């Protein structure tokens, strides 16, 4: 699964998506073979493939939207949701899977109330599965914002998320205090 309902766009986001997509489309031909290079470039620039961008590409290449969507969901490299401020990647390689990687994934899904491939509505966290990240001795492994977390248990999942929650509260407090001083 690669994510369900698209998240709501933020103010000004749709305009940015449309402008970037139009620019990318201009640089490519309109043949069907251009589809993958186009959506690769959109993802590179925007960090994901927004629905309005896929619709725009379908119109430009004169192909059904569902074709663009099928290609985007077929290849693992494409993501349909914006990356969260914190990116959580749960390793599902063989060693991690054997050591309970799916339990770790379940714990994140439950705590964040999203599914694998999705982003929380406040865009704080995105959750995805990755293949072996090369440190099987530490299985099950989770990569959080490029930091490898070793031998992750459901309790550790709570701990990881709690750290971010505390961090966020402290930042909010600092901002409030900063605002009050002005």
Give the residue, chosen from 7, 141, 152, 161, that forms a contact with ligand FES under the rule CB under 6 A: 141
Q: Which of 139, 142, 152, 160 binds ligand FES (CB under 6 A)?
A: 139
Rounded to 5 degrees, what angle do the CA atoms 3, 143, 113 make? 40
Distance CA 89, CA 96 (A): 12
- Does residue 148 interact with ligand FES by CB under 6 A? no
Shortest CB 145 distance to ligand FES, Å: 17
Half-sphere exposure of 46 (CA within 13 A, CB side): 31
Tell whether residue 93 is a contact of ligand FES (CB under 6 A).
yes
| From candidates 91, 112, 142, 152, binder to ligand FES by CB under 6 A | 91
Please state the closest distance from residue 67 (CB atom) to ligand FES, in A: 34
The answer to whether the CB of 157 falls within 8 A of the CB of 140 is no
Distance (Å) of CA 137 to CA 40, 91, 97, 146, 156: 33, 12, 12, 18, 17
Among residues 123, 37, 131, the alpha carbon closest in space to that of 81 is found at: 123
CB of 115 to ligand FES, least distance (A): 20
The Cα 35–Cα 28 span in angstroms is 9
Given the rule CB under 6 A, which of 3-11, 88-96, 102-110, 153-161 is the region that contacts ligand FES? 88-96
Based on the shown chain and the rule CB under 6 A, indicate whether residue 94 belongs to the binding site for ligand FES: yes
Q: Using the rule CB under 6 A, is 36 a contact of ligand FES?
A: no
For position 144 contacting ligand FES by CB under 6 A, the verdict is: no
- Residue 149 CB, shortest distance to ligand FES, in Å, is 11
**What is the C-alpha to C-alpha distance for residues 95 and 68, in angstroms, rounded to an integer?**
34
Which parts of this chain interact with ligand FES (CB under 6 A)? 91, 93-96, 132-136, 139, 141
């Amino acid at each position: 699964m690669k994510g369900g309902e698209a998240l709501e766009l933020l103010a000004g986001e749709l305009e940015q998506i449309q402008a970037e997509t139009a620019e990318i489309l201009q640089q490519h031909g309109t043949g069907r073979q251009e589809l993958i290079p186009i959506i690769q470039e959109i993802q590179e620039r925007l960090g994901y493939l927004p629905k309005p961008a896929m619709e725009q590409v379908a119109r430009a290449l004169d192909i059904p939207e569902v074709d663009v969507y099928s290609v985007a969901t077929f290849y693992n490299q494409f993501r349909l949701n914006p990356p969260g401020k914190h990116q959580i990647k749960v390793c599902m390689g063989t060693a991690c899977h054997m050591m309970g990687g799916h339990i770790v994934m379940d714990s994140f899904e439950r705590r964040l109330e999203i599914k694998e491939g999705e982003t929380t509505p406040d865009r704080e966290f995105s959750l995805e599965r990755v293949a072996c990240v090369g440190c099987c001795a530490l299985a099950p492994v989770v990569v959080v914002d490029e930091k490898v977390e070793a031998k992750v248990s459901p309790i550790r999942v709570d701990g990881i998320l709690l750290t971010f929650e505390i961090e966020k509260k402290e930042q909010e407090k600092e901002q409030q205090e900063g605002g009050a001083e002005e």
